[in-house]
Structure 1
Amino acid sequence: MAEYLTPDLCIIGAGSGGLSVAAAARAFGASVVIVEKGEMGGDCLNFGCVPSKALIAAGRHAHAMRSGEPFGITGQDPQISFRRVQEHIQDVIAGIAPHDSVSRFEGLGATVIKAEGKFVDPRTLSAGDQLIRARRFVIATGSVPSVPQIPGLDQVPYFTNETIFSNTRKLTHLAIIGGGPIGIELAQAYRRLGSAVTVIEATTPLQRSDPELAEIALRRVAEDGVDIRSNTRVVEIQPRSQGIGVLIESGEAREVLDVSHILVAVGRTPNLEPLDLAKAKVRRDRKPPHRLRIGKNLKTSNRRIYVLGDAAGGQQFTHFANYQAGLVIRNALFGLPVSEKPELIPHATYCDPEIAEIGVTEPVARRRHKEGYRVVRWSFAENDRARTERETYGLAKMIVDRRGRIVGAGIVGAGAGELIALFSFAIANRLKASHLLNFVAPYPTLSEIAKRLGTEYFREQTHNPWLRRIIALNRFLP
């Protein structure tokens, strides 16, 4: 019988969240075992955030070559090698990979087991020929692509976000099933790299974003030549000797699209099935999608087992998993009370223009107007740096409660993912709109937009009768 490994923490999954827990735990001297069957770095490094942003960057550079006329530069069609684009993507991944590698974490003192983990009882995990009886377990197994049940789909080859970044050929006509962030980002990138692209969305594209911000971004994506079909469902996939037929339906109308490739981008599902959680006495919801029952401290129904990141079934962002990792460390190692606060988590869609949001959105603020919420807006067209870059296509919003505290923000425009960080800091520290008046932004920068939102919030104060009386009284002073 194999001897038990008895670490303080056993982390199942070596994605961003799991590795954040492992690194922090080792920094505090806790013993750690990491169990990972697949690639170190998980979905984000290998199939998600990193390769997608590398592909988007390639598309952005191709677009820039065509778009120089407003600056006095003759535009030209770039010569695109998808093999070289793929090399660029892999080079970016390879540059980050050492930070997430087995050698780095073994160097930190963790034990890394390259095998699939399965629970054999509520206290024990089996991984390869090892049995692990940890004081606490952390499930950080990420997610897998959701694949819809569409007649004929299983009879043709198709991409998911886990396979498309290995593509080395130009895709003549790419049909993307799903109009969420992944679908829209990749649609625009592939269109800019020369492919015809059709997005098929059963409801509204980018439906989780503020509708006004989403409309601005989607208008630009459509202007790039992406064919976006809203409120349209895929009825059937038709295999052919050459190409693929995609039968779609919108209302009473049906149409067959002739495409060369299909990308399925309808979301991702927590990767939990291999764990045999029933043996660990971990409960799941009875109703689909049968998510784990998780407390605000990220513990499952088995008090020894935590879950974070995509595996938890909530927001699927790397930075959210890293935030949750901090909560797990505080609770598992130090016994401190913790409570997850999703309202502190920003999210971004990296199309052009980018969309970034945090906290209360304008539609929510409008519904709760009686609670004293105010919405302050500022256009990118009023920002001097945006004018110099010809990036005036954008809008920023700030949501403020009756006490003047910033409770939400939404931005669509160039660099929105960077600009939202200031509002994330403000909300996390319960700052007020008045604090935006106290910082000085260098001129000319897009960061001035945040300050202008602060001044706009207080603009109505210029009509305050008491302030005007003070000014009048000061006229009598020497």
Structure 2
Amino acid sequence: MTVQLTPDICVIGAGSGGLSVAAAAAAFSVDVVLLERAEMGGDCLNTGCVPSKSLLSAAKAAYSVGQAGAFGIDAKIDGINFAKANDHVHNVIAAIAPHDSVERFEGLGVRVIKSHGSFVSADCVVTEGYEIRARRFIVATGSKAAVPPIKGLESVPYLTNETIFDLREAPEHLLIIGGGPIGLEMAQAHRRLGSKVTVVEGQKALGRDDPELAAIVLDQLRGEGITIEEQATVSEVEADGSDITVRWTGSDGTAGEVSGSHLLLAVGRSPNVDGMGLAEAGIEYDRKGIKVGADLRTSNRKVYAIGDVTGGLQFTHVAGYHASLVVRSILFRLPAKGNRDVIPWVTYTSPELGHVGLREPDARHRYGDKVKVLEAAYSGNDRALAEAQGKGKLKLIVGPKGKLLGADIVGPQAGEIINLLSLAISKKMSMKDLAGFIPPYPTLGELVRRAAITYYADLPKKNWLRQVLALLRKFG
């Protein structure tokens, strides 16, 4: 027998965005049904952010032993137990999982149905044993690893973010197709844990980030022994026994190839829209994802879509941001419009690479010669020098009247510093604000104030100001 449900809100997908909407709605005693066919917590908890950062932390611990000599400490690694590093990854997932569990959300008052849901009409979703007619629907089904149409791939065993964290032994030679954040994070983690690593990227590695700062990361990775082939379009992959070969064509027409033991695909993400009945609901979508307006509504006014499935910036914190906008709209009937200019991102390699706001080319396109770029180097920061981490740089992109438009940073704890700058941009702060705050000494956060102060570097040269100061001195 099919059970009829008429909740106020039906959320499809229990990843970061979907869970945030469900929890917020339940907190206000709103009737919510949450559908999830796979693991609670979605990609971030189970196969994305949490396991990748946990593996990177294990790799950083191993690497730091080799760097101890800079502090006069004679330390050596007797061996790396990759299986125990993998245990750490899964222990972290297990520690966080209860926060995202069915039991917790049912305790909050959310009705959780562990099943796939699909639309059969503009206002009805069906799932195993249930027919759901809600006032509003939120599609938060996320994304999955994209599988490119490469010749021979169908006959070659390959890994994605969904399977690489199941490895119990370090790959002898890990081949990675894709030089974006996921590919390079996994490249450094596995290299530091004992694998040989080759990355093949069809365009420019870390091409979304500031080229000068991205080059610092790439130099570090290459210095650790990672081979990175850029402008190399993969033409074919082939398996021969336990060996996998990747062949490519360079931008100059030359051919190249490399063989290894394992292959990881890290060429982007595809939205999870298959089998959802979106056409039956009148919801427009394409291969990039569900089409939404600035208010995150789809072409069906009863349905919102948030997070990766919308095909925009695919980060956990973006899904959370989308969730807050949807809650604002549905529960409080307040205007909600997403602002991409305030979205930060971080690549968690060592050194970290962070960005928020407008990139320099975009800022110059919008504001022309009114844009200034202010810089502060890690080599001029006392805390960085004390920790023997003087390689890195902060850039502030500044617009008219000293307003902060964007920021790029590479170096230790870049992600933490981007937190401050993300707040500054969202609150429309200026160089006056950033030059006037007092960071504790010695901290890496001093980089922000040091860069902001340079906005006023030309003031002592201004004749009118010198005249004012001279006049003031006459008064004693």
Q: Is the 8 A contact 2:273 2:289 kept in 1?
A: no
TM alignment of 1:436-475, pairs within 5 A: 436-475=434-473
- What code does the residue aligned with 1:420 have? I
TM-aligned CA deviation for residue 197 of structure 1: 0.2
Which residue matches 2:195? 195
In the TM superposition, 1:28-39 aligns within 5 A as: 28-39=28-39
In 1: Cα distance, 2:363 partner to 2:141 partner: 35
Aligned to 2:274: 273
Give the match's secondary structure for 1:83.
Answer: helix
Q: Give 1:290 deviation, angstroms.
A: 5.1
SS at match of 1:403: helix
Q: Which residue of 2 aligns with 1:315?
A: 313
Match of 2:439, SS?
A: coil
Mapping 1:50-449, distance limit 5 Å:
50-250=50-250, 251-285=252-286, 289=287, 291-368=289-366, 370=368, 372-449=370-447
Shift of the 148–235 alpha-carbon distance from structure 1 to 2, 3 Å rule, reads same
Per the alignment, residue 47 of structure 1 pairs with 47
Runs of 4+ residues over 6 Å off in structure 1 = none
Aligned 8 A contact 2:370 2:400 in 1: yes
Distance 1:328 1:102 in 2: 22
TM-score by length of 1: 0.97
Distance 1:25 1:3 in 2: 22
1:268 is matched by which residue type in structure 2?
R
Give the letter for the 1:477 counterpart. F
- 5+ residue gaps, structure 2, are none
1:199-220 CA distance string (max 9 Å, x none): 0001100111111111111111
Q: Please, which moves more after superposition, 21-30 or 359-368?
A: 359-368
Listed as ranges, the gaps of 5+ residues in structure 1 are none
Alpha-carbon contact 1:82-1:170 (below 8 Å) kept:
yes
Deviation at 1:369, TM superposition (A): 5.7
* TM-score (structure 2 length as normaliser): 0.97
Question: Is residue 62–residue 78 contact of structure 1 (8 Å, CA) maintained in 2?
Answer: no
- Secondary structure in structure 2 of the residue aligned to 1:23: helix
State the Cα distance separating 1:441 from its structure 2 match. Answer: 0.6
Name which of structure 1's ranges 332-341 and 349-358 shifts more when overlaid on structure 2.
Answer: 332-341
Distance in structure 2 (CA, Å) of the matches to 1:64 and 1:211: 27
Deviations 1:311-363 (A, max 9, x none): 11100011111011011011112221111101111001011111110111123
| 1:367 Cα deviation after fit | 4.4
- Given that 2:288 and 2:311 are in contact with CA atoms closer than 8 Å, whether structure 1 keeps it comes out as no
Provide the aligned C-alpha RMSD in A.
1.3
- Offset, 1:371: 5.1
Task: Specify the code of the residue in structure 2 equivalent to 1:354.
Answer: E
Deviation digits for residues 393-437 of structure 1 (CA, Å, limit 9, x no counterpart):
101011111121111111011100000111111111111110012
Matching residue's letter, 1:396: L
Q: Can you list the C-alpha shifts for 1:223-273, whole angstroms capped at 9, x where unaligned?
A: 111100001122211211231222222233223312000000001111011
- Separation in structure 1 between the aligned mates of residue 338 and residue 366 of structure 2, nearest angstrom: 23
Supply the distance in 1 between the matched residues of 2:474 and 2:283 (Cα, whole angstroms): 76
Superposed displacement of residue 82, structure 1 = 1.4
Identity of counterpart residues, as a percentage?
47
Matched-pair contact (CA < 8 Å) for 2:270–2:288: no
Residue aligned with 2:126, SS: strand
SS in 2 for 1:275: coil
Q: Which amino acid aligns with 1:266?
A: V
| In 2, Cα distance between equivalents of 1:327 and 1:133 | 22
Is contact 1:144–1:268 with CA below 8 Å preserved after alignment? yes
Aligned residue pairs total: 475
